[in-house]
Amino acid sequence: MTQNGADTLRLDEPQAAVAGNFSIGPYRILGLLGEGGMGRVYLAQQIHPQRQVALKVVRGLSSAVVERMRREIEVLAQLEHPGIARLYAAGESRIDDVDVPWLALEYVRGDDLVRHAQERNLDLAARLRLLIEVARAVHYAHERGVIHRDLKPGNILVDDEGRPKVLDFGIARLREDGAQGLTQDGQVLGTLPYMSAEQLAGDSSRIDARSDVYSLGVLAYELIGGRLPHPRLNTSTIFEALHILRHDEPPRLATLSPVARGDLDTVIMKSLASEREQRYASAADWADDLQRIIEHRPIMARPLTRMYRASRFVRRHRLLTAAMASIVLILSAASIVSLHFALAEQHARAEADQRAREAAAVSSFLEQMLASADPELSAGRKLTVEEVVDQAERDMQRLDGEPGVQRAVATTLSHTRRALGQYEA
């Protein structure tokens, strides 16, 4: 475990960090894990039961430091959660004629949250699951009146089994801190790049669960986007940092990482709002929306329009949607084919009817043409074939509205002219 600020643990070579072995209380010191403003953290061996622990020992004996150590013990004693490093024991030991407070914590073997994700090249879903687990653990603490106030990668270690653990509640705030005066207005505690505006302002009355939600948003931004929302905070004074948070908007996460486009960008940027009222009301609400993203369900951070719900349904049920689309496509194709054949059949029927009507009209015309040669109709005079054909050609003019009949009659008359040797006609 490594040291990334006050009281943050990291994996070093602990045997080289301590000159010789010694004991504190019932623990044999194996090496130094980390060192911060409030004290030192040692890797220690407990005999009964046999296990290694992270032993935190107060550095300096000022009343404020000792009180904070006692407050951390009080906080951790309330928190029994798989996502929070457990408190095994606490006490005081006589060292150099001075009673030194200590607490024994669960020793987490692993890397910090960001390094773990980078070294294992975790995909987006795996990173979101880690964030969800961390948020659930933080919400558990919030339900018991504990605000962490120093959530950062170094205070969240991921063990060998891939489970994140929240560490270091040394500056955590209890609901009754205001009454007891441990955290005073104007006092700024935490790590600048991960602190909310109200925390930077030192306004203890405004620090609540939403302050930790902001820190979770910074963690998520860094874990997915590869950088902090406000990188300048690493080198800023408190006053400069407060101005940056209040007046500078961080780049949208979607501009840094294509995988963050859409709902994920909305969720993370909402948690990073400079005004706490615009953030998620709780870490659990934030975790719920991240879970909805993994499951392709509508998030609560945006209006639930009908089109938006439909798009989430399609993403959530890809196979079902694909199957339904295939069925619709097949039915549409079948309908088109059926319509084509129906239209073709209708066209063929209409054409057959037209041919029948034309045949009947031709037959009727020819009957009239032959009837005109009847002596009774020609005043007793016998007509020649040529005269009959001439009369028929004149009568064809009344067939202008029936081109098919005209063509059939003209063909018959042309054959007759040819039989008569009248080729030009």
Asked, as a colleague might, if the bond just before 49 is cis with ω within 30 of 0, I would say yes
Q: Which of 300, 276, 298, 306 is nearest to 286 (CA)?
A: 300
Query: Contact, 359 vs 351, CB < 8 A?
Result: no
CA gap 89, 73 in Å, rounded: 9
CA gap 310, 296 in Å, rounded: 11
Report residue 170 as tokens.
């040394």
CA 366-369-373 angle, 5° bins = 135
SS3 of residue 289 by DSSP = helix
* Burial class of residue 293 (count of CB atoms within 10 Å of its CB; 0-12, 13-18, 19+): buried
Q: Is 150 annotated in the active site?
A: yes
Report residue 11 as tokens.
């994996």
**Residue 212 identity:** D
Cβ atoms < 10 Å from Cβ of 405: 20
CA gap 215, 195 in Å, rounded: 6
Catalytic residue among 7, 111, 112, 150: 150
Place of tokens 């980078």: 118
Long-range contacts of 174-177 (CB under 8 A, 24+ apart): 174/71, 174/74, 174/75, 174/145, 174/146, 174/147, 175/145, 176/145, 177/204
SS3 of residue 305 by DSSP = coil
Active site residues: 150
